[in-house]
Structures are given as structure tokens and as C-alpha cells.
Structure 1
Amino acid sequence: MYDIITFGSASQDIYVKSKKFFTAGNGICVPPGLKTEVDDLAIFSGGGGTNAAATFANQGFKVAYCGMVGQDPFGRLAVEELKKLKISCDLLKTTGKKSTNISFFLTYPGKDRTILVYRGASDELSRKDIPWAKIKKAKWFYLAPFGGRLASLTGILIDFAKKNGIKIALNPGYNQLTLPVKTLKEILQKIDILILNREEASLLTGIPPQKEKEIFKKIDGLVRGISIMTKGGDGVIVSDGQNLFSAKSLASSLGWKTVDATGAGDAFGSGFVSGFLKSKGDIEYSIQLAMANATFNMLKWGAKDGLLKKNQKWPKIGVLKEACGKEGLCQTKS
């Protein structure tokens, strides 16, 4: 029996740094018809499904990744790393139809990065590829962002989980948040933990991101379980239907300088669920572990290299706890 099975993408993240990149308007540019010097190149594994699995494995859980990679060198690298991290690959499938997912991170001095995404093999996973008999005894499903056609599996997996008594944590991406309204409302009523960032929460509710209180109140009303909204450098808000919890950014509080936000959302979401399982439902501890896991990950390049290990020491951020209804941000649930 697995403690947790993660679903989502597996990819290779390729970082390309060059002083020759320049901007024009809202775009990043390179001179046409010329070879452009690259100052640094680095390759890391990524993908929401495997990033989350790495956290769970690091925290000592029995975890499997259910997804698809290509029959290519990057796919073989992904499998090798999963095995090295002691993540089961028994549920992983390969395909010759498409190459393994790749993201190119173009970085340039004094500016933000630009990401080119190839959604390859991961989007080829279909209902028939999932070994349903092998996953029915898992304790938890963790659904990372699903891209493209993969989003259609969201409701199917959640219905299967509910039928088999499996708890569900959902960290949806754009394609899941833009599913038909009726489908989305049904999904949100069935999950145990919902993890969103502020921009995703704005997309879900149709409320501008500046109206934070209105956004969170609406989300909390849609979700029967725990609602989480991360706010980047401004911290996080969490509701369990009885109390409202909030915390500031750990990096900002300690004055730490982060270098790469890739995988920060995956690190926070999987860190929260790890803390929730380890503490048997202590929200404050779950927030603290999530915040530390995401922060330490952002201190290093790549989506997995900085993730906390099981016995690693880490600083705990202060968490404010208030009863629901006090600020009108959350709703009391039975």
C-alpha cells in the first residue's frame, strides 16, 4: 500500500543564461541568423508530479509516481532519478508517440526569466494507461497541475478516489481551473485539500488578484475541505472550515535571498500535505513545513535540489490562528 501516489508531469528543465539576450517591448529577443553565445547551461529534472513525489520521498513516505515519459534519453534520466529518490516507478508508463516534456528557461541580466514549454509525453497519459487495481489501496492522491488533455483525467481520478476511500490533495493548473464550471464545482466539493496561488485563485473566482479577501472567501465557500492560497513573498492563508491561519514569507522574515522559484508551488503543496500526515492534521505545523520546504528549495537552482530531508533542521515561521468569521475570510463548515 502506498502512502501517497502523485499524478502530473515529469519533465527536464533546461536553464539557458546569456548576456546576449535582450528585451523589446514585452518580449525577449536574440539576433536573427546568428549564433548567440550562452554563458551558462544547466539541466534539472522537473514536472509537478515528480517534484511533489520527491518531497514525499524525502519525508519518509512510501510514494509512487503515476505518469508518462518518452522512450528517449530524458525519459530514462527521469526514471533513474525517481528510483534514486526511492520513488516507485511501478505505475509509470512510457510512450514512443512523443518525447519527454521539456521546459527551456531563458534568463538574462536584470530581468525575469522566460519559459518555453513543450508538453510532450505527460499529456499522452490516458484512462487506459492507469493501473486502477494497483492504486485503489493508496491512502492519498496528490494531483499536481495537469496540462493539455491530461486535465480531463482530474474528475475521473477524484471520483475513483472517493469511491475507494482515498484522500485527495489538488494543486490545479490552468487547464484544470478552466474545466466546465459544473465539473469544477463538483470536483471542489470532493477534495480534502485545495492548494492555489493568488493568480490561480483569481482565475478560479473571476475576482481581480488585488481583492484578496473576496477571492479567499469565495474559494473557501466552494471547497468542503481545507483551502490554501499562497501569496508569494506575502505569505499564505489557510482555512480548515473552523479557523483561519496565516503566515508571512519565511524568506522575507529571515532576510534570505532566493535564487530560483521553479517548483516552489510544488514544494509548498507537497510540504503541506507531508506536514498534515506527519502531524495527524496539525495545520500550523503543516504550514511551517510547507513554507520551509518551499523556501529551502528556492535557495538552489532547480525544482528538487533544495527540498528538505526527513531529519533536516529548519526554522519555523510564526502562524496566526483566528476563528472563522472574525474577518469574514472563511466560512464555518460542519
Structure 2
Amino acid sequence: MGVEIQPKINDENGDAAAAAPVIVGLQPAALVDHVARVDWSLLSRIPGEAGGSFPVAPEELKFILNEIDTHIIASPETTSPLKTIAGGSVANTIRGLAAGFGVTCGIIGACAKDDQGSLFMDNMSSYKVDISRLRLKNGHTGQCVCLVDELANRTMRPCLSSAVKVQADDLTTSDFKGCKWLVLRYAIFNIEVIQTAIRIAKQEGLCISLDLASFEMVRKFRLPLLQLLESGSIDLCFANEDEAAELVRGEVGADPESALEFLANHCRWAVVTLGQKGCIAKHGKEVVRVPAIGESKAVDATGAGDLFASGFLYGLVKGLSLEECCKIGSCSGGSVIRSLGGEVTPENWQWMYKQMQTKGLTVPEPDNFFF
């Protein structure tokens, strides 16, 4: 076992004092996920399209949470109909890197002095994520309801309108100094803090990883995303098949391959995940296609892309080939869909390690594991 992290939380004007992790993630607002398996009738009654992720107002979140009990599907994976854990795409990726791969990681963001904020901090620090870059503020911690349908597809509705979050002028060079990678998720309502983080991180020599968030976000705010990609500041970009389709919509021959080509024109590494069909990736002139892990039984797709990113980034940190990075990503993405929520269980980490061994991949050293 590694040395336990002693949580050291910044106040609003404090400076981070923790040792620099290899990878740091920016999630401006800490988020707590409420995950439940529900029938399709509930999905037809909530705002937005099924399968996506788009913000809702506090009253809409309250409505969804109140309706869950009458639409719940019994799940053998959890004793409670509603699973509450620290969430958010970046948090899932960072937690996966620290917990399952032993990579030193930290998270930049803000949480409130409330029960949800305490839950977020306790969960992340229990997996040895450095939380010294979190700002503790007065207010409310963000929440998200994650609805999983009968086919294991997830629909996410985050409520961030009243949540405390890191602002652009909160960021300092100490948040990034000494780190190697910055992990980001595209969100139009965080675009200013994202742009500031990229600027400071680049000054400190970090590489930037960007996830495209959701097909709804790409569709509604495509132009600012294109501007961000065309700036040349993104080193690695992840898109799923639906996000890729929105990215290149209207173009002749628009398909995952053309989206991959578009991303590769602006990023050093480009990855398009294809669900059960695996993934395609490009680095320089090299293009690889890797199948999904066929042995994985999907219970909940929440976090599949986030944990794919964990495995892929681990491969890059270890200096592995593009194909190996994709294979590890496929293994780690497969591990999280075997249970409810974006948090991998110890049993499913062990499943992943066995998959990696079977495929001749580099398995992390046991001394770095959290369990």
C-alpha cells in the first residue's frame, strides 16, 4: 500500500501546497452522482434527449429524484435503489488512474461546505487522489442524476446552476507546476476557466487531454469547440461515436473515420470510441482499430468513456504504443460497465488486470493499488 494522502483543502484564497501529481484534472464544480436503473417511461418525461448529458435546473433535478422510486428497476449490483458517489467525467478518469493504475493524480475544482462536498472529498481522497487543489467555498455542491435504462445506456442530467465552482481568476501556476498532463471535459458554461487553465498549463509545459462531453454539448455549442480544437492547444482528444457524428455533421462522407481524421489534424493523438465495436485512434500517420472487450457484460454504461481515457492515459504515461494504449483503454472501459456508476469495484479492477495479462499488456504494480 502507498502512503495515505492527508487531505489539505485550499480556502478560497489559498495556494495548493501538495507535491505535483503526474496528471491533474480540472473539474470546476465538484459533482455528486445519484445513479439508478429506471424504466424508459421516466426518460420520456425529463428534459433533453435520452442517452445524452445536458444541464437541468434545480427544480428539474428535484422532480427527477422524486420520480425515481416509482420507476426503479431492481438491480443485484446494489442494495439501494439509488447509488450516491463522487462523480463527473474528469473525476471518474482521475479516480480510475489513481485507483486502478497507481498514477499519481490530483483534481482542481471547488466544492461547498455541505454534506455533498464532504462526500466528494472523502470519496476522492480514499482512492489516493490529491485533493489539495480543491477550493472550499460557501454554497452548494453540484449534483447529477444518472439514469440507466434496461439496455444499460445512461442518461445524465447535471444540476450546476447554483453549484460553487472554480473561476478563471482562481487558477494559479501552482495548480499545474510540475505536472505532466491536464485532463479536461468540454463544457460551454466552463469555457472561460477551461481557456485559462489551458493557457497556464501550456506555460508550465503540460500536455492537454480533452473529452467532448456529450453529443448534446457538441451539437448545441459546436462553434466554440471547433475554435478550441483549431487553436492547436489540445494534444489528445476523445470522442464517442455520437459526439464524432455531431462534430462532422453536414460534411460529405461524415463518419467516425472522417471525425478521427479531423481531430488528428488538430491534435497529436485522436481517439473515437465505438461502443461494442471498439475504438479507432490516430497518432501522426499511424491509425489503429481495436475491438471491444467481448467478455464484459454491460450493467451500466456510465463512466465507460471516462475509464477508457484512464487506461489510454496510463499507456501514454508508460510510453506504450498507440495500439497498446487503445487495448488498455478498452480493458478499463470494460471494467466500469460491469457495475452501477462510474466507480470501478475492486472485483472489476481484478477482472481488468486479468484481461490485460491475457492480452500481454503491462499491468500496474500491485503496491500502487488502493485496495
TM-score between both structures, scaled by the size of structure 1: 0.79
- The SS at the match of 2:355 is coil
Identity of aligned residues (%): 21
Once the 2 structures are TM-superposed, how far is the Cα of residue 3 of structure 1 from its aligned partner? Answer: 0.5
Once the 2 structures are TM-superposed, how far is the Cα of residue 126 of structure 1 from its aligned partner? Answer: 0.7
Once the 2 structures are TM-superposed, how far is the Cα of residue 164 of structure 1 from its aligned partner? Answer: 1.8
Matches within 5 A, 1:22-171: 22=41, 26-27=44-45, 37=70, 40-58=81-99, 59-97=101-139, 99-107=140-148, 114-120=155-161, 124-143=165-184, 145-171=185-211
Once the 2 structures are TM-superposed, how far is the Cα of residue 281 of structure 1 from its aligned partner? Answer: 3.8
- CA separation in 2, counterparts of 1:151 and 1:181? 9
Residue of structure 2 in register with 1:274 after alignment: 314
Q: In the alignment, is the contact (CA less than 8 A) between 1:170 and 1:194 conserved in 2?
A: yes
Residue of structure 1 in register with 2:237 after alignment: 194
Q: In the alignment, is the contact (CA less than 8 A) between 2:38 and 2:149 conserved in 1?
A: yes
Once the 2 structures are TM-superposed, how far is the Cα of residue 115 of structure 1 from its aligned partner? Answer: 3.6
Q: In the alignment, is the contact (CA less than 8 A) between 1:123 and 1:149 conserved in 2?
A: no
Residue of structure 1 in register with 2:26 after alignment: 7
- CA separation in 2, counterparts of 1:237 and 1:258? 21
- CA separation in 2, counterparts of 1:111 and 1:271? 21
CA, structure 1 residues 121+311, in 2 after alignment: closer, same or farther (shift >3 Å)? farther
Residue of structure 2 in register with 1:295 after alignment: 334
Picking from 186, 207, 225, the partner of 2:268 is: 225
Matched residues, number: 307
Q: Deviations over 1:169-211 (max 9, x none)?
A: 1113255763536732443x22221111122222222347972
- CA separation in 2, counterparts of 1:84 and 1:211? 41
Residue of structure 1 in register with 2:5 after alignment: none
- CA separation in 2, counterparts of 1:107 and 1:185? 31
Once the 2 structures are TM-superposed, how far is the Cα of residue 34 of structure 1 from its aligned partner? Answer: 9.9
- CA separation in 1, counterparts of 2:115 and 2:351? 33
Residue of structure 2 in register with 1:261 after alignment: 301
CA, structure 1 residues 112+129, in 2 after alignment: closer, same or farther (shift >3 Å)? same
TM-score between both structures, scaled by the size of structure 2: 0.72
My pick for the range that moved more, 107-116 or 237-246, is: 107-116
CA, structure 1 residues 265+83, in 2 after alignment: closer, same or farther (shift >3 Å)? same
- The SS at the match of 2:192 is helix
RCO greater where, 1 or 2, for CA within 8 Å and sep 6 or more?
Answer: 2
Once the 2 structures are TM-superposed, how far is the Cα of residue 125 of structure 1 from its aligned partner? Answer: 1.6
CA, structure 1 residues 314+185, in 2 after alignment: closer, same or farther (shift >3 Å)? same
- The SS at the match of 2:353 is coil
Matches within 5 A, 1:179-258: 179-180=223-224, 183-187=227-231, 189-207=232-250, 211-221=255-265, 223-250=266-293, 253-254=294-295, 256-258=296-298
Q: In the alignment, is the contact (CA less than 8 A) between 2:108 and 2:175 conserved in 1?
A: no
Once the 2 structures are TM-superposed, how far is the Cα of residue 17 of structure 1 from its aligned partner? Answer: 4.6
- CA separation in 2, counterparts of 1:52 and 1:151? 20
CA, structure 1 residues 163+62, in 2 after alignment: closer, same or farther (shift >3 Å)? same
- CA separation in 2, counterparts of 1:237 and 1:197? 10
For residue 205 of structure 1, what is the amino acid of its counterpart?
V
- The SS at the match of 1:227 is strand
- The SS at the match of 2:298 is coil
- CA separation in 2, counterparts of 1:273 and 1:111? 25
CA RMSD in angstroms, aligned pairs only: 3.3
